[in-house]
């Protein structure tokens, strides 16, 4: 099961209104992750309609929409990807509330540490992968129970 997890690059959507941050993220992680970069929440929404991603990282402070507002707006349509908030400002009440409501998996402050950021991304992907694997196994279990019920009814009738 875990070998399946390591067979492909993690697909990340990174949303930040500052081009320098987008380029820094790209140059740091382009060799190890499959990256999609967006300069706004609306651009990120367009990417999400065309591409499946595992993790979405968004800057909190963007001019047209905050990262948390963006996450709130997409969470019902795209519940699967793990969401990470990136902020230079720490409003701990807001961040704590977002974590408690399971709106975000984790938050990081700017400037970010490359090794720590990579570790958070890998841990987030492990959580993403395990949740998907769990849903798959639950579906298989449900199907097996239904088959068992059908067989049981057939035995009762004979």
- Contact by Cβ (8 Å): 84, 124: yes
Q: Decide if 2 is inside a domain.
A: no
Strand order in the sheet with 82-87: 33-38, 10-15, 55-59, 82-87, 106-109
Domain membership of residue 106 (yes or no) is yes
Residue 25, in any domain of the structure: yes
| Averaged pLDDT of the chain | 89
Backbone angles phi, psi at 85, to 5 degrees: -100, 135
Give the CATH number, domain containing residue 88. 3.40.50.2300
Q: What integer pLDDT is reported at residue 7 of this predicted model?
A: 67
On whether residue 1 sits in a domain, the answer given is: no
Instruction: Between 37 and 150, name the one with better pLDDT.
Output: 37
Q: Which residue has the higher pLDDT, 99 or 49?
A: 49
Radius of gyration of the chain (CA): 19
Q: Tell me the per-residue pLDDT of 84-139, one tens digit each, with 9 for 90 and over.
A: 999 877 667 777 778 777 888 988 888 888 999 999 999 999 999 988 888 989 99
Q: Cα 71 vs. chain centroid, distance in angstroms?
A: 10
CA distance 7 to 24: 26
Structural domain of 144: 7-157
pLDDT tens per residue, range 139-156? 999 998 989 888 888 887
Q: What is the DSSP string of 52-108?
A: --SEEEEES--SSS-HHHHHHHHTTTS-SSEEEEEESS--HHHHHHHHHTTS-SEEE
Within-domain flag for 85: yes
Domain count, the chain: 1
Q: Can you give the pLDDT at residue 29?
A: 96
Read off the pTM.
0.82
Res. 1: pLDDT tops 60: no
């Amino acid at each position: 099961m875990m070998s399946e997890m390591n067979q492909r690059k993690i697909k990340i959507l990174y949303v930040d209104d500052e081009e320098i941050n987008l380029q820094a993220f790209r140059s740091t992680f382009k060799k190890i992750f499959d990256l999609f970069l967006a300069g706004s929440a609306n651009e990120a929404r367009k990417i999400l309609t065309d591409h499946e991603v595992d993790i979405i990282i968004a800057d909190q402070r963007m001019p047209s929409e905050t990262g948390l507002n963006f996450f709130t707006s997409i969470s019902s349509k795209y519940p699967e990807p793990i969401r990470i908030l990136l902020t230079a400002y720490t409003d701990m009440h807001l961040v704590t509330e977002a974590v408690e409501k399971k709106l975000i998996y984790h938050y990081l402050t700017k400037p970010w540490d490359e090794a720590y950021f990579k570790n958070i991304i890998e841990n987030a992907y492990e959580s993403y992968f395990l949740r998907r694997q769990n849903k798959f196994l639950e579906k298989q279990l449900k199907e097996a129970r239904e088959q068992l019920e059908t067989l049981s009814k057939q035995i009762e009738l004979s």
